[in-house]
Structure 1
Amino acid sequence: MPFAVYVLALAVFAQGTSEFMLSGLLPGIATDLHVSVPAAGTLTSAFAIGMVVGAPLAALAGMRWPRRRALLAFLTTFLLAHVVGAITTSFEVLFVTRVIAALANAGFLAAGLTTAASLAGPHAKGRATSVLLSGVTLACVAGVPLGAVLAGIWGWRSAFWGVAIISAPAVIAILRAVPATPTDPSAPSARHELRALRTPRSLVTLLLGALVNGATFCTFTYLAPVMTTVAGLGTAWVPVSLALFGIGSFAGVTLGGRLADTRATQVIAVGSTALLAGWLLFAFTAGNPIAALVLVFVQGVLSFAVGSTLITQVLYTAADAPTLAGGFATAAFNVGAAAGPVLGGIAIGAGWGFRSSLVVSAALVAVVLILGAIAMSLGSTTGHRSAERKH
């Protein structure tokens, strides 16, 4: 795998840390900037909305730039947004920096997926995608806890400085490692790429990715109360549970990368079936702390193996949209990340308890299996009719 792909993963690690670290920083931000904790919580929503909206828009804006220029522009903007966020005394300014950082993050991830796939070659998109997304999973395992430690010692601003400091060497490394390829004048237009993304196969793949990610984040968001209230573990086990999920996610991305280029259909079909069984088993055995801890790891593996494979399939099925495929894949997965917790919250708010988030995750994956089966059936029927017409 080209060194440049690992450089891109370093930047994604910094961005993933930024996206997830706020959960441990909100009380400090609220106190320092004289706002309520719920108001500080809107910073998380601002980032999520920026990611969903920003991925396709940033990809469209940067599609006529050389890829290295686009990567540098997005990453530099992301870095500067964190510097401003670290020094501001205004909550409103901090809110704006989170939106800008999310837009830059979305643009970088969209360009990074496309760049990594092209650097790896036409038959290694899965491996390249897994290396890039490993930055996100490592952020869950190491980056977020490190940010919490920094905030505990030096305050919440130090976590923002930490993200900026990690991003700086990535900027330099991109300058040195990513080839300065000129813009291809024969590259497809935005209209052509959007048309390529509207094929039924691409749309179904994007939808399946959103559903799988929705299931993942539905449970991940409420994992702490599930482990403490349902499984009966002490609060000291919450970081352990999160770490187990993160380690499983890293293993899943790695596994998916090894298989996505050659056995994608099997990974999605078998993995989704196992994922559904795992969420149902988790829902039934969540009261057993040992079973809960084991399934946290297992579901992390399965969720990210299937999810990363679906991202890879977007890049393959929308090969005629080399610039926008990554942007729309990023947007679809962030739609899932935003919708999953909302659906889980509705179930919990209805009085069904924290265990219901696991049932919602199972229901979302069940929809994945149903839609996947329908899509395969329609595809085989279409292929059979085409063959008949040829005869």
Structure 2
Amino acid sequence: MTAYVSGGKLLLAIVALAMGGVGIGVTEFAMMGLLQEGAADLEVGYAQMGLMISAYAIGVVVGAPVLTALAAKIPRKRAVQLLILFFTLANLSSFFAPDYNTMLVTRFLAGLPHGAYFGLAGVLAGSLVPATMRGRAIAWVMLGLSVANVAGVPLVTRLGQEYGWRSMFLVVTAIGVLTAVLISLFVPWRKTDAGASIRRELTALKSAQVWLAMLTGIVGFGGFFAVYSYISPTLTEEAGLPIELVPLALALYGVGMVVGSLAGGRLADWSIFGAIKL
């Protein structure tokens, strides 16, 4: 019988897993807030700099199903440790990237573990609590992404404006190392599913419902990123806001994400499909 975790032990385990979401959120969204600075440093236009965001996103699309399937037989704690370490090294390589083309490659590599990390970390968090709390446990892990947008992204954006946009990669590297340490210390081990295999993971793609669910995510997130990717030049050049206010706008965006994550997790425990409709 699975032993559930509660109290302080559960809090520490959730914080450890959510910290990875903070790092992922910072590297994903701070890039958008520092798009102008990055374009100037690499001597490219906004459209070319936007491809940095696309390269990361392509990495997410490729890595999520592939790495999740490959991790099927690995204990989930070990899998999330390996994913966050890969993520950390990829971001560090972005800091040292000498030119635009190399940076595109490193951004692609940094995106590879993104989806797999959230998927496996969410499942791992859900396994720590009873079924009636699983929606909230998964939402708490995802809350790391929201917290990144409230605090991490605005702070790193401001840091990048003052000390160079590449400084964001050093911050993300530090968060990644901290996450790996916290997971090692506070997240309990869970046995691997005896029947797990790459083939079984891939059979899910035979389901029309799985494809419809993915399509829903593609449309929703596609609309979100179409706006967010160019939020910095939109706010400064179209809305006329001073560039110093960009971090504040990013923080307000993040507050909405925190509220949505907390409400969504509780609603999911009430009714998954009801929550989606709302």
Structure 2 matches for 1:150-189, cutoff 5 A?
150-184=159-193, 186-189=194-197
**Residues 41 and 205 (structure 1 numbering): CA distance in 2 closer, same or farther, change over 3 Å?**
closer
Q: Distance in 1 between matches of 2:118 and 2:59?
A: 13
- Out of 244, 255, 277, the residue aligned to residue 263 of structure 2 is 255
**Residues 29 and 205 (structure 1 numbering): CA distance in 2 closer, same or farther, change over 3 Å?**
closer
SS in structure 1 of the partner of residue 269 of structure 2: coil
What residue is the counterpart of 2:96 in the other structure?
87
Structure 2 matches for 1:243-282, cutoff 5 A?
243-269=251-277, 271=278
What residue is the counterpart of 1:96 in the other structure?
105
**Is the 2:33–2:247 contact (alpha carbons within 8 Å) kept by the matching residues of 1?**
no
Q: Which amino acid aligns with 1:94?
A: M
What residue is the counterpart of 1:20 in the other structure?
29
SS in structure 1 of the partner of residue 131 of structure 2: coil
Shift of 1:23: 2.0
**Unaligned ranges ≥5, structure 1:** 272-391
Count of paired positions: 268
Q: Deviations over 1:304-325 (max 9, x none)?
A: xxxxxxxxxxxxxxxxxxxxxx
Structure 2 matches for 1:210-289, cutoff 5 A?
210-221=218-229, 234-235=241-242, 239-269=247-277, 271=278
SS in structure 2 of the partner of residue 127 of structure 1: helix
Shift of 1:103: 0.5
**Residues 221 and 28 (structure 1 numbering): CA distance in 2 closer, same or farther, change over 3 Å?**
closer
Shift of 1:204: 3.2
Deviates more, 1:102-111 or 1:159-168: 102-111
Q: Deviations over 1:282-313 (max 9, x none)?
A: xxxxxxxxxxxxxxxxxxxxxxxxxxxxxxxx
Q: Distance in 1 between matches of 2:224 and 2:32?
A: 17
What residue is the counterpart of 1:147 in the other structure?
156
Q: Which amino acid aligns with 1:28?
A: E
**Is the 1:124–1:261 contact (alpha carbons within 8 Å) kept by the matching residues of 2?**
yes
Bigger RCO of structures 1 and 2 (CA < 8 A, at least 6 apart): 2
Shift of 1:239: 4.7
Shift of 1:148: 1.3
Shift of 1:237: 6.1
SS in structure 2 of the partner of residue 180 of structure 1: coil
What residue is the counterpart of 1:282 in the other structure?
none
Q: Distance in 2 between matches of 1:81 and 1:222?
A: 23
Q: Deviations over 1:141-181 (max 9, x none)?
A: 22211111111222122111111112211110111122234
**Residues 136 and 172 (structure 1 numbering): CA distance in 2 closer, same or farther, change over 3 Å?**
same
**Is the 2:91–2:173 contact (alpha carbons within 8 Å) kept by the matching residues of 1?**
yes
% same residue: 34
**Is the 2:235–2:246 contact (alpha carbons within 8 Å) kept by the matching residues of 1?**
yes
Q: Distance in 2 between matches of 1:33 and 1:220?
A: 21
SS in structure 2 of the partner of residue 188 of structure 1: coil
**Residues 215 and 65 (structure 1 numbering): CA distance in 2 closer, same or farther, change over 3 Å?**
same
Matching of residue 204 in structure 1 with residue 212 in structure 2: yes
- TM-score (norm: length of structure 1): 0.61
Structure 2 matches for 1:58-69, cutoff 5 A?
58-69=67-78
**Is the 1:5–1:119 contact (alpha carbons within 8 Å) kept by the matching residues of 2?**
no
Give the root-mean-square deviation of aligned CA atoms: 2.7
**Is the 1:83–1:161 contact (alpha carbons within 8 Å) kept by the matching residues of 2?**
yes
Shift of 1:188: 3.2
Between Structure 1 and Structure 2, whose CA radius of gyration is higher? 1
What residue is the counterpart of 2:52 in the other structure?
43
- TM-score (norm: length of structure 2): 0.84
**Residues 27 and 212 (structure 1 numbering): CA distance in 2 closer, same or farther, change over 3 Å?**
closer
**Is the 1:7–1:173 contact (alpha carbons within 8 Å) kept by the matching residues of 2?**
yes
What residue is the counterpart of 1:361 in the other structure?
none
What residue is the counterpart of 2:114 in the other structure?
105
**Is the 2:76–2:190 contact (alpha carbons within 8 Å) kept by the matching residues of 1?**
yes
Matching of residue 135 in structure 1 with residue 144 in structure 2: yes
Q: Which amino acid aligns with 1:104?
A: P
